[in-house]
Structure 1
Amino acid sequence: MIRAEYLRFMQTLQGPSTTDSVRRIANIVSYHLEELTPLSTHQGQRIRKMVDLSHANWEGAPTHIPPIPDDSAAPEIQLSRLKTMTVGPFRGFAQQEEFDLNSRLVLVYGPNGTGKSSFCEALEYALLGNVAEAESKRFRDQNEYLKNAHVNAFTAPVVVSEDEQGSDISVTANESAYRFCFVEKNRIDSFSRIAAQAPARQTELIATLFGLESFTSFTRNFTSEISSQYIDLQGKEALLLAQKQQSLQGAQQQIQSSSAELHRIAEEEQRLANSFRAGTSFEQMKVELSGNDHTPGLIQQLEVELQHPTPLKSGLSKGAIEAMGNEAASMISELRIKQQKLVDSSHQVSFKQLYEAVVQVQQSSSDACPACKTPLQQVVVNPYMHAGQELTKLQDLAALQQGVIQLKQSVLQNLFNISQTLNTCLKFFSQGNPLKPFEIVNAQPELTWWDSLLRQLPDNYTAWQHLVSQVEQLEASDKKAEEALRLKGEKQNELNRLRDLARQVTVLETQMQTVTNNTLASQRVIDNFQIDNAQLIESVEAEKAVIVKNQEIVAAYAAFVQKLTSYSNSLPAQLVADLGEQVVRLYNSFNRNDVQSELLADVKLPLAQNQRLRIAFQSKPEQFFDALHVLSEGHVRCLGLAILLAKNLKEQAPLLIFDDPVNAIDDDHRESIRRTLFADHFFMAKQVVLTCHGEEFFKDIQNLLSVADIRESKLLSFLPRLGEQHIRVDYNCAPRNYILAATTHIERNEVREALAKSRQALEALTKDKIWKYVHRHGDGNLSIKLRSSTEPIALRNLTEQLRSKIGRAEFTDPNKNAIYDPIDTLLGINRGSREWRYLNKGTHEEFDRAEFDRGTVTDIVSALVGLDEALG
C-alpha cells in the first residue's frame, strides 16, 4: 500500500516545477522505502537515516522519475469474473487448495477462526500484490506474515479470471486497478471509532476508510526540514577554528576563574565536613562515610544492619482475650440456664407445635375438626379458636426459643474469635505447644470445645491458662517489635542523611575534577595553539564543498516533504470526489426502513484539511449537520460502507469482495444491506465474493435470492478445525435456501425434511416477498384474527388473506396469475391434511405418526418453486 501510493506520488514530480535535487531525494526514498518505513520521528530516527542515505547516494541518485511499473499501471485486459484460485501454503492453508469461483455470487460461511480471512487475504495478495493487514502489523518482510507457520512455507496464490470476451487469463496483481474491489470490515470499524473521538480527528476519516493510514503515517514521520542538529551546514572545522581563535583569550580567563572556583569548592567542602561533625576534615568525612580497603564506612554498616528482618507482630493483647473469655463464660452460663428452661417446658413445646399444626390445616379443613372430621357446628370446643388462644398464651415460650437461638449464635461467634486467637498462638509457638490439641481448622468451635479449655491438663494448668499466658507473651513480643521498628526508622533516617552527605561529596569532587580539567585544557590550548591550527586550516578548506552539498540536500529535502505532505493531504479529497450523490443513494438504501425525516438529502464529504463530514436530512435539505455529531454508531457504519461501495461503483471495479459484513454492520441494518447488495440494481453487474461468520446472515442472503440465483452461486463452508493444521473446506455445503433445500430433499425422497423446508420457505415467501408484492400492487393491509397476543400468525390464514388480495379485480399487476396460481394450488390442498397442519404450525417429534403423502408434498414444493420463479 505504501509503495504503491508513493509511486503514484512520484509521478507528480515530473513537471518543470520540481528541481532535479527534489527528484534525487524522491528516488533515494523510493530505493530505501523498506528501511525508512518503520522509522519514526522519535529521537530523529527517520531524519538521521535520510541524512546518511543522502550522503551515501547523492551523486548516484537519478534526477528523472521512473514511470509506474507495468504491474501497477492499468491492465490492458480487463477481467470480468474470477474463475479459480489456487492457494497454499499460505497463511492458514498448510497445503494447496483450489477454489471454483466461477459465479456472479460466491458466498462463504464459516465460524470465526476457520480460515475465511486467509481466503480473503489470498485474493487480496493475488489482486493487489500485498496484504494490508501485514503492513498494519509492522511486518517488514511480508512473506513472513503470509507463510503458513506449520509448514514454514509460502506460495503465492494463483487466480484465473475470465476477461470481457470470455477467455481465461491469469490475474496479475495490480493495486491501482483492483484496490477498490475490497471492502474491509476493519476500516469500517476504525471509521466508527474515530467518529466517537475528538472532532479534530475527522480529517482522518476518509484516509482511514480507504486504508491510507499507513501511507499517512509514513508521510507524517518525515520532519519538515533537516536541522543543523543532524547535518553540518556551517562547517565543523571552520567553527572549530573560529572557536580556537577566540579560545586563547578565553583560556586565560578560564585559568583566572578556575582559581576562584577552586577556593569556593574548598570552602564548600569544609562546610559540608562541619555539618557531618564539627572539627572533621573533608577527607576524614569521606573515609568515615564510605570506608576504605580495611574498614567499611558508616553507610555500608547501616545498610547491613537495616537488612536484618523485623520481628513479626501478633496483634494480640491479654486484656482482649480475657474480655472474650469472661464474655464467653457469661453467655454460656446464660445459654444453659435458658436451655434448661426449655427442657423444663418440653411438654409446652409439644403443645405449641400441635397448636401450630392445627392452625396451618385450617385453610384446607375450615368446616370440620381436623382430627375427627366432626362439623364445627357440632363440636364442644372449636379446635381452631382453641389452638389460636393457646398459642397466644405460649408467646413467652416462643420468645424464649428465639432468645436461645440468638444467644447461641453470639456464643459461637465469641468462641470462633477465641479459636482464631488460639490459632495465632500456635503460629508463633509451634513446637510442643500444649494448645495444639485444641486447634480448630475450617470448623466452628462448639460448647464442648470451650468446656475442654477449662479442664486441667497433666501439667496442672488449663488450656485457657496456657492461652492467656501465651497471649501475654506475644503482647510483650509486640512491644519489643515496635521498639525494633522505631530503632530501624531512626537508623533509616540516619542512613538517608549520610547518603545525602555522600551525594554532596560526589558533586563537589566532580566540580573539582571539572575545574582541574578545564585549567589543564586551557593551559594546553595556550601552549599548542600554533601546532593545532596548521592542520585545522587545511581541513577548513577541504570541507567547503561538503557544506555546499549539505545545503543542497537540506533545501531539496524541505521541498520534497512539502510536496509529499500536500499530496497526502489531498488524497482523501481525490478519493471521494463526485461520490456524494451515490453515497446518499446507498445510505438511504441501507436505511430504507427509517422514517422519511431520517433519510439523507445531501452529504458533503471532507475535501480539505479541517473540514467536517456534513449531512442534510430530507426533512430539512438546506440545513447541514456534523454527521458524526448527529448519527448513531450504526448509522456512522452505514455511512462508511456507503462511501466504500460508492467508490467501488464509481471506479467501475469488476468485483466486490466483502470479508465478514456481520462484524461491520449492526443488526438493524443487515436486511437492508443484504437487499442493497443482492436484490437492488447497484451490484447486479459485478461478481460479489462475500464471507461471513453468521449462519443466519448466510441463510438470509440465500432466501432473499431466487432458487435460480442460488443454483448458479458458489456456496462454500469453512469448517471448524478438529486438531488439523490445515483449513477444512466443504465445497458442497448444503444450501440454506429453503426452496432449493426442499427440492433436494424431495428428489432424495426425504419427504418429511422436504415438508419442513417447505414450511420455512412458505413463511419466508409470504412474510418477506408476497406481502410486499401485494402492498406494491394493491391493498397490503391484512385482517388476521389471533386467539391471544402471544399466538403466532397461522400460516394458512396469512396465505389465504394474501390470495384474496391478489384475486381482487382492482389488483393492478397484469401478471398476477403467475403468483396467484401457485398460491391457489397450495391452498387447494385440504387444510385438515397432515401436510397442511405441518405447514400451518410446524411439527413436533411424535411416534407412530402417519406417513406424509409424497405426491402432496411434491405439489407443495412445485408450487413454491413456481412462486419463487414468479417473484424473481
Structure 2
Amino acid sequence: MASAEHDFQHFVRWLHEPLVGASPDARRMGNLVLRNFDAVIATTRNRSQRAIRIVELARAQFAQVNDGLPELDAIAVGAGWGWRSLTELTLGPFRGFRHPETFDLNKRLILFYGPNGSGKTSLCESLEYGLLGAVDEGAQKRIDAGQYLRNIHENRFVAPQLRGVDLAGQLMVITADADAYRFCFIEKNRIDSFSRIAAKPAGQKTELIAALFGMDHYNEFVGQFNEALTEQLNLAPLRGQELELRQNAIANDVGAVAGEALAGAEFHRVEEAYAQAYTDGMTYRQLQEAVGWFGVPGRLQELELTLNQPQPSLYGVRSQDLVTAYQEAEEAHNEVEALSQQLGRQHDDVAYQELFTAIQGLQAVSPDRCPACETPLHGNPRVQVDPYHKAAQGLEQMRELTLLQQGYQAALGRRRAASDVLSACLAHFTQRVGARIDSENAVCRYLAAPGVVADTAWWRLGFAEVGGAPSIAQQAVNWAAQLEQTDATTQQNLAQRAMHVAERDRLNEARIALAEHAARRQQAQLAIEGARQRIAEFEVQNAELIEAAAAESELIAAEQRIQQAYNEFLALLRRHRSELPGTLMAGLNAQALQLYNEFNVRDAEQDKLAELHLPVTGEGRIELCFRGAPARRVDALQVLSEGHVRCLGLAILLAKASSIQAPTLIFDDAINAIDHEHRQGIREALFESERFANTQIIVTCHSNEFIKDIQNHVPQNQWLAYALMHHHGDYHPRVIRNLPPQAYLVLARAAVDRGDYRAALQFSRQALEMLTLKIWKWLCKCNQGVLTVQLAKDGDQPSLSNLCGSICAKLRGANTFEHVDKQPLIDALARILGIGEQTLVWRYLNKGTHEEADRDDFDAGVVEGVVQLLESMSALRLRS
C-alpha cells in the first residue's frame, strides 16, 4: 500500500487548500515534518520521543521553512488510469527472488498459488512497488527501502518492471501512481485487522477502518504525535521572572514614566477645561497670556494700571433738590405771612381769647368762686354771671380764631423746617464743592455764608438780581445742575471701573489657579525625572540581567510560535484523519451491500442485508438493517460474526475498487482471510459475475482447492496459473509455469485427446458433481430450488444420480418457469440419466470412477460424447 509519507503528502496538499483555513505557521509546521519525515516517523509518543524530535527540528529549521506548498513526490500527483490491464512483470533481485523472473500477465485472471514462504508476498510487493512506487511493509517496520527490498543473498535489489496495455491497446511501461492504484490491492492482513474491529475501543475503530484501505501506517503515524510540546519547549521566563522581581521595586517609577504621556494629556485636559470654564471658547494659552504669564503684560496688568489711577469723586449735588428746598422755604414763609396778616386783623379778639383762656385756667384753683372777686358762684350771695361758664361760651364763640392761631403756629414750624432743609442743602453743597467765605467766586462765598437767620426768610437775600444778571441763588442752582451733569459722567466711569475690578479679581484668581496648575505639573515632571533617573540607575545595575531576559523573551516568543503552530497543525492532522472514513467510503453503501449479500448467498433470506450505512466521520459507526427487520438499524460490529465482518470488509474494498473502475485487482492471500463457508460466494461474485467481467484479477493463494474451483468455474481462456514452490538450495523460488489445469472438463478434454478414457470419465464425473451443485444454486436464485431427492437411509447424502433426476424432474414440472437454459438442461440431464436409448452415459460415469478387474475398454465415441455433453452444460450461462 501507499506509505505513510505518501499519505502525509496528501495531508500537506490538503493543508494548503484555502478552504481549510490553516495559518501560515501551521502550514510551515506541516512542511517541516514533511521535510524531516524519516526523522519524525522513526520516533513514537513513548517518553515524548516525537515531541522532543519535533522541537529539535523546529528550533533549527522552523523560521527558515517556507509556508507555501512544497514540491511533492510524483506518486502524490494522482494522474489516474493510463492503462487497461497489466501484461508483464519482471522482478529480481527483489526480496525473496534472487534472480530475474518474468511473468506473463496477459489474462483476465492470473493465479499464483503455493505454500507459505514460497515467494507469494515478494511477488505482491513487486506489484506494489511497480504500481505505488513504494512498499509499505518496510516503512511500517521502519526499515530503509533499499535495505528492505534487497535480496539478502545478492545484497541488492533491482526495481521491478511492470508493463501493460494502454487505453489504445498499445504496450506501455507502468508508471507508479499511489493515488490512482492504491485501491487495486486487497490484502489478507487488512481484512484480518478489520475483522477484529469489534473488539477494539471506540478510539481505535477509526484507525482500523482506515487500515482496511491500507492507511493503517498513516493512522499509526498520526497517532504517535504527542498532545503538546509544552514540556519540551522553554516557555518559563526564568530570567524574566527574576528581572520582574527586581523590577517590582521600581514598578511605580516604571508606571510613572510609562504614563508620562497620559499624565501630560490629563494635565492638558484639566487646564483646557479650566480655561473653557473661565470663558467659553478661551484656550489655556490665551488665559496664560491674559494674566501675563510669559513676561509680557496682559489684560490683568492693563486693568491694574487702569485701576491704580485716582478714583473720581461724586459731588452728590442735585439742582432739583436745591430748587425744591428754595421753593418749599418760600412757600412756608408765604403761608406764615398770610396767617400773620389774618391774626393782625383780629387783634381784639385775641385779647378776649387770652382772658377767657386764663379764666378757664383758674377754674381748677377756685372752682366755686369767681377768680376775680371771690364771690361764690352758688348760693346767696352769688355772682350774677358764672365767669367760668361765660369764659367757656366765649371761647366757643372764638373757635375760628383759635384754629387760625393754631394754623399760624404750624406754618411757623413748617417755615422753620423748610429753612433748616434749605440751610442743610446749602451746607451740603458747600461741603461738596469746598466753598469758603474768602473765595473769589461769589457763589462759593454765598454758599459758605448764605446768611441763615432763624425764623426769618433769610434766603430771599439770594434772590436779588444785580444788573440783569441771575440771582446768586439761581447761580447756585445752575452750578448744581452743572455738577449733576459731572456726577452723571463720573457715575458711568465708576460703573466701568467696577467691571474692571471684577475682571481684575477673576484674573487674579485665575493667576493663582494657573500657578497651582504649573506647580502640580512641575511637581509631576520632577517626579517623572526622578523616576527616570532611578530607572536608569536600575538598568545600569541590572544590565546583564536585562539583556538575558530580552534574549529569553525572544526565545520564548519563538517557542510559543512553535507551540501554537504545532497545536493547530496537530488539530488539522487529526481532523484530516477523522475525515478519512467519509472520504474513503463515500458512495459505497449500495455496492458494498450487494457484494456482502452475494458473499453470504447461503445465509437465510432474513439474515441478508436490506440497508448498509458506512460512516462518514471518524466517530461514525457501520450500521445496517437486516431483511428480517428492515426498519431496525443496528451496529454492524455488534451483531455480525467475525466471518461476516471479514466479508463486510472485503465487500467494502471491492466496492471501492469498483467505484473507481480499477482495471486490476490484486489479492495478496486475501481469500485465505475468509472462512470456507463464504469462499464460494466470493468466488462467484468475483470470477463468475458480470460486475468484474472486465477487471483483471491477480490472486495469490495457498489454497489449492480455491484455485481449482476458480479454474472449474471460469473458462480456460480467461485464466493463467503459476505455482511458486520452495527453493532447492539456491535460495530462489521455483516458478512452475504451464501447470496442468485443475478444471475437471479441461482435464477430461486433455485425457480424451491423449486416449486416457478412464481418466476422462473420472474427471467428467467430478465435473458433473460440480455442475449439479451449480444448477441447483441457479434454481434457488430462480425460486425453483425446492427439490425432492430420494435418500438410501436416514442421514445419508443424496446420490449424484438421484440429484440429477430430481433436478430434471423439477425442470420438467416447472410449467410456469421459462428460461433460455431450461430446455438444454433437461435434454442434457436426460442423456446423463440414460433415458431412452442413452443408457451408456451413466454406466460409463460409474465405471470411470470405480476400479474393476478385467474391465472392457471404454468406447471412445461414448466418452467423447460424455465430455461434449458436460462441456455444453458448462457453457450455459445460467443467469437469474
2:240 touches 2:553 (CA, 8 Å); kept in 1? no
Pick from 768, 771, 778 the counterpart of residue 765 of structure 1: 771
Structure 2 SS opposite 1:677: helix
Q: Check 1:773–1:544 CA distance in 2 against 1; reply closer, same or farther (3 A cut).
A: closer
CA distance in 2 between partners of 1:194 and 1:545 (Å)? 48
Alignment pair present for 1:25 and 2:29: yes
For residue 577 of structure 1, the aligned residue among 570, 583, 586 is: 586
Aligned length: 585
The one of 789, 799, 804 equivalent to 2:804 is 799
| Equivalent residue number for residue 50 of structure 2 | 46
Among 10, 13, 31, the residue aligned to 2:12: 10
Among 710, 725, 736, the alignment partner of 2:731 is 725
CA distance in 1, matches of 2:168, 2:643: 41
**1:632 is aligned with what amino acid?**
S
Q: Percent identity?
A: 40
Q: Which structure would you say has the larger Rg? A: 2
Which residue in 1 is equivalent to 2:506? none
Q: Which of 575, 580, 603 is the matching residue for 2:612?
A: 603
Which deviates further from its counterpart, 196-205 or 847-856?
A: 196-205
Given the alignment of the two structures, is residue 216 of structure 1 paired with residue 216 of structure 2, yes or no? no
**1:738 aligned to 2:744?**
yes
What is the Cα deviation at residue 143 of structure 1?
2.3
How far is the alpha carbon of 1:675 from its aligned partner?
Answer: 0.9
Q: Secondary structure at the match of 1:563?
A: helix
Three-state SS of the structure 1 residue aligned to 2:631 is strand
Alignment match of 2:792 (pick from 787, 791, 800): 787
What secondary structure does 1:85 align onto?
strand
CA contact (8 A) 1:782 1:801 kept: yes
Q: Secondary structure at the match of 1:622?
A: coil
Amino acid at match of 1:231: L
Alpha-carbon distance change, 704 to 146 in structure 1, aligned in 2, over 3 angstroms: same
Deviation string for 1:627-660 (max 9, x for gaps)? 1211111111111111111111122222211122
- State the SS of the aligned residue for 1:82: strand
Distance 1:32 1:172 in 2: 26
AA of the residue aligned to 1:795: L
Aligned residue in 2 for 1:194: 197
Q: Contact 1:777 / 1:813 at 8 angstroms: preserved in 2?
A: no
8 Å CA contact 2:150, 2:156 repeated in 1? yes
User: Match for 2:177 among 153, 174, 181?
Assistant: 174
SS in 2 for 1:159: strand
Aligned to 1:90: 94
Match of 1:553 among 562, 583, 587: 562
Q: Quick one: structure 1 residues 775 and 242, their matched pair in 2 at CA, closer, same or farther if it must change by over 3 Å?
A: closer
Q: 1:778 to 1:804 in 2, by over 3 A?
A: farther
Q: Distance in 1 between matches of 2:202 and 2:81?
A: 44
* Correspondence 1:95-494 to 2 at 5 A: 95-139=99-143, 141-199=144-202, 201-227=204-230, 229-239=231-241
Distance across 1 between alignment mates of 2:156 and 2:837 = 63
C-alpha change, 1:815 and 1:848, in structure 2 (3 Å) is: closer
Letter of the aligned partner of 2:790 in structure 1? K
Distance in 1 (alpha carbons) for counterparts of 2:149 and 2:826: 55
Closer, same or farther: CA 105–574 of 1 in aligned 2, 3 Å = same
Asked if the contact 1:819/1:871 (under 8 Å) is kept, the reply is no
Q: Secondary structure at the match of 1:623?
A: coil
Report the TM-score when normalising by structure 1: 0.63
Q: Which residue of 1 aligns with 2:676?
A: 667
Deviation of 1:778 after TM superposition, in Å, equals 8.7
Equivalent residue number for residue 713 of structure 2 = 704
Residue by residue, what CA displacement relative to the aligned partner does 1:44-102 show, whole Å, maximum 9, x if unpaired? 21112112111211333112113544332232652111100001111111111001111
Structure 1 distance, partners of 2:827, 2:9, is 62
Q: Is the 8 A contact 2:711 2:719 kept in 1?
A: no
- Displacement of 1:162: 1.0
Partner residue in 2 for 1:321: none
Question: Displacement, 1:594?
Answer: 1.2
Q: In structure 2, what is the Cα distance between the partners aligned to 1:775 and 1:622?
A: 26
**What is the one-letter code of the residue matched to 2:589?**
G
Please tell me the residue identity of whatever aligns with 2:721: L
Tell me which residue corresponds to 2:363.
Answer: none
Amino acid at match of 1:80: R
| 1:743-769 superposed Cα distances (whole Å, 9 cap, x missing partner) | 112112222211211111112112223
1:573 is matched by which residue type in structure 2? Answer: G
> Bigger shift: 580-589 or 529-538?
529-538
Preserved CA contact (<8 Å) 2:597 2:609:
yes
CA contact (8 A) 2:132 2:176 kept: yes
Aligned partner of residue 123 in structure 1, secondary structure: helix
Shift of 1:664: 1.1
Work out whether residues 774 and 805 of structure 1, in 8 Å CA contact, stay in contact via their aligned partners in 2: no
For 1:669 and 1:776, the matched residues in 2 are separated by: 17
User: Cα distance, 1:33 vs. partner?
Assistant: 0.4
Residue 828 to residue 836, structure 1, CA distance change in 2 (3 Å): closer
> Which whole-Å CA distance do the structure 1 matches of 2:853 and 2:200 have between them?
60
**SS of residue paired to 2:570:** helix
**TM-score scaled to structure 2, two decimals?**
0.62
Distance 1:758 1:679 in 2: 21
Quote the offset at 1:207 in angstroms.
1.9
CA contact (8 A) 1:105 1:687 kept: yes
Distance in 2, Cα, partners of 1:652 & 1:684? 12
Deviation string, structure 1 residues 164-188 (Cα, Å, up to 9, x no partner):
2111111111110011111111111
Distance 1:847 1:620, change over 3 A: same
The Cα shift of 1:853 comes to 2.3
- Superposition deviation, residue 721 in structure 1: 3.3
- TM-superposed deviation, 1:15: 4.3
The answer (yes or no) to whether the contact 1:702–1:737 under 8 Å persists in 2 is: yes
Sort the Cα spacing of 1:558 and 1:776 in 2 relative to 1 into closer, same or farther, 3 A: closer
Deviation of the 1:231 alpha carbon: 2.2
Q: In structure 1, what is the Cα distance between the partners aligned to 2:583 and 2:81?
A: 25
Q: What is the match of residue 869 of structure 1?
A: 875
Once the two structures are overlaid, the 10-residue window that deviates more, 597-606 or 806-815, is 806-815
Q: Partners in 2 of 1:555 and 1:200 — Cα distance?
A: 25
Cα distance, 1:845 vs structure 2:
4.0
- Aligned equivalents of 1:812, 1:200: Cα separation in 2: 54
Q: CA deviation at 1:726?
A: 0.6
Gaps of 5+ in 2: 250-537
Equivalent residues of 2:28, 2:67 under 8 A apart? yes
Structure 2 CA distance for aligned equivalents of residues 240 and 830 of structure 1:
113
Q: Please say if residues 662 and 693 of structure 1, whose CA atoms lie closer than 8 Å, have aligned partners that are also in contact.
A: no
Equivalent residue of 1:59, what SS?
helix
1:634 aligns to 2:634 (yes or no): no
Q: CA deviation at 1:776?
A: 6.0
Tell me the amino acid that sits aligned with residue 178 of structure 1. Y
Q: C-alpha distance in 1, partners of 2:718/2:613?
A: 40
CA drift of 1:549 comes to 2.5
Which amino acid is 1:616 matched to?
A: C
User: Which residue identity is paired with 1:146?
Assistant: L
Tell me the distance in 2 between the aligned counterparts of 1:621 and 1:871. Answer: 32
CA contact (8 A) 1:203 1:606 kept: no
- Aligned partners of 2:619, 2:129: CA distance in 1, in Å? 34
